[in-house]
Amino acid sequence: MHGGACALAILVTGFMAGPAAAYTAYVSNEKDNTMSVVDTATMQVVKTVNVGQRPRGITISHDGKHVYLCASDDDSIEVIDTATLEIVDTLPSGPDPELFVLSPDGKTLYVANEDDNLVTVIDIESKKVLAEIPVGVEPEGMGVSPDGKTMVNTSETTNMAHFIDTSTHEITHNVLVDTRPRFVEFTPDGKQAWVSAEIGGTVSVIDNETREVVHKITFEISGLRAESIQPVGVRITADGKKAYVALGPANRVAVVDTETYEVEKYILVGQRVWQLAFTPDQKTIISTNGVSNDITFIDVATDEPVQSVTVGALPWGVVVSPN
């Protein structure tokens, strides 16, 4: 633990040096219907906000002014003003929204409606539903290509990644992946979509040109049974070189070389790690650890865990302010 404390000191000093380095992280806590607001410089919870029921998916507008939060059991998306931390609006999400992704231009939200086998397309400004796209059973993972032209949804029981043309709202390709696909992350160059499979225990790398699986990443941790390795959240660095994969009840985040697909390291964080988010400066990645009710700050340069911070009950998703 001495190493951790030392790294923490360095990290804090580093943040203090640059004026733009203090960000705010927002964490959705599924079990106690709150959102924790965390200062990434001090690594402390500065406020806990009461939100709708069963908050899960969370994202933020490009200008950092609004947090969007899926209140799954309220069948709505709440819009939270980041200046006042008050719920200022709701968006029509369709039933049981779980996870969503914001289009690169920041105008459209693509929402997975888990109970109704739909993806709902919402225009944020007019608060109108533009389309409801039928997909497979239990839609969950949502990703959008950097050019905004392609959106990908995964369905957990159908075990497919559905590639959807964002101009027509039509599915163009259905790619079979391993059991219970949970999350989609595009590489920054838009050439690949990475899809995690929680029960299958793999990450499928899909070529965005051919829409075929070009590689399957597997994980192995000595002393852990294979069944406990359940990949969920995936994040890829802005330079496209490293991918971080949250491994659920394996309590670790895997660091993967995107060139070789080799796992370089397993970082021990908290219990049942699900989602991940980078700070905008890419110096830190934060994991949500549901069962231990905390989040872990990981130093991206060293891939060492820096500190864990207790948040609300069953932290699910995390997003960091862009400024």
Partner 1 sequence: MTSAVPCTLAAFLCFFSPTVNVPGAAAQEASPVATAKPEKKITEIKIGYLRAYAPQLALSVFDVPPRDEGVAGGNVAIADNNTTGSFLRQKFSLDVTEVKPDADVVPAFQEMIAKGERYVVADLSARQLLSIADLARDNGVLIFNAGATDDSLREEECRANIFHTIPTRSMLADGLAQYLIWKQWRRWVLIYGSHERDQLFAEALRRAATRFGGEIVAEKEFKDTGTARRTDSGVVQIQRQMPVFTQDLPEHDVLLVADESEVFGTYVPFRTWIARPVAGTAGLTPSAWHPASEQWGGTQIQNRFAKANGRRMLSKDMAAWTAVRILGEAATRTQGADPRKMADFIRSDDFSIAAFKGQKLTFRKWNQQLRQPIFLGDNRSVVSTSPQEGFLHQVSELDTLGVDEPETKCVLK
Contact residues toward partner 1 (CB under 8 A) are 96, 114-115, 117, 131-134, 136-138, 155-160, 162, 168-176, 179-180, 198-201, 210-213, 225, 227-228, 230, 249
Phi/psi for 20 (5° steps) reads: -90, 5
Residue 182 Cβ, how far from partner 1 at the closest point, in Å? 10
Q: Which of 267, 260, 224 is nearest to 245 (CA)?
A: 267
Residue 118 Cβ, how far from partner 1 at the closest point, in Å? 9
- In the complex with partner 1, which residue's Cβ is closer, 66 or 182? 182
Residue 275 Cβ, how far from partner 1 at the closest point, in Å? 15
Please list, residue by residue across 65-94, b when 16 or more beta carbons sit within 10 angstroms of its beta carbon and e when fewer do. bbbbbbbbebbbbbbbebeebebeebbebb
Sign for the CA dihedral angle at 50, 51, 54, 57 comes to negative
Residue 185 Cβ, how far from partner 1 at the closest point, in Å? 20
Residue 228 Cβ, how far from partner 1 at the closest point, in Å? 8
Please list, residue by residue across 209-242, b when 16 or more beta carbons sit within 10 angstroms of its beta carbon and e when fewer do. eebebeebbebebeebeeeebbbbbbbbbeeeeb
Local structure of 3: helix, strand or coil: helix
- In the complex with partner 1, which residue's Cβ is closer, 67 or 99? 99
- In the complex with partner 1, which residue's Cβ is closer, 197 or 298? 197
Please state, in angstroms and rounded to a whole number, the distance separating the CA atoms of residues 245 and 235: 7
Instruction: At 98, list the tokens.
Output: 């779980």
- In the complex with partner 1, which residue's Cβ is closer, 190 or 249? 249
- In the complex with partner 1, which residue's Cβ is closer, 131 or 300? 131
User: Any bridge partners for residue 81, and if so which?
Assistant: 66, 86
Please state, in angstroms and rounded to a whole number, the distance separating the CA atoms of residues 239 and 236: 8
Q: Which helix (H) or strand (E) holds 19?
A: none
Residue 82 Cβ, how far from partner 1 at the closest point, in Å? 30
Residue 311 Cβ, how far from partner 1 at the closest point, in Å? 20
- In the complex with partner 1, which residue's Cβ is closer, 22 or 199? 199
Please state, in angstroms and rounded to a whole number, the distance separating the CA atoms of residues 58 and 56: 6
What's the one-letter identity of residue 313? A
Q: Count CB neighbours of 191 within 10 A.
A: 15
- In the complex with partner 1, which residue's Cβ is closer, 170 or 262? 170
Residue 137 Cβ, how far from partner 1 at the closest point, in Å? 5
- In the complex with partner 1, which residue's Cβ is closer, 179 or 323? 179
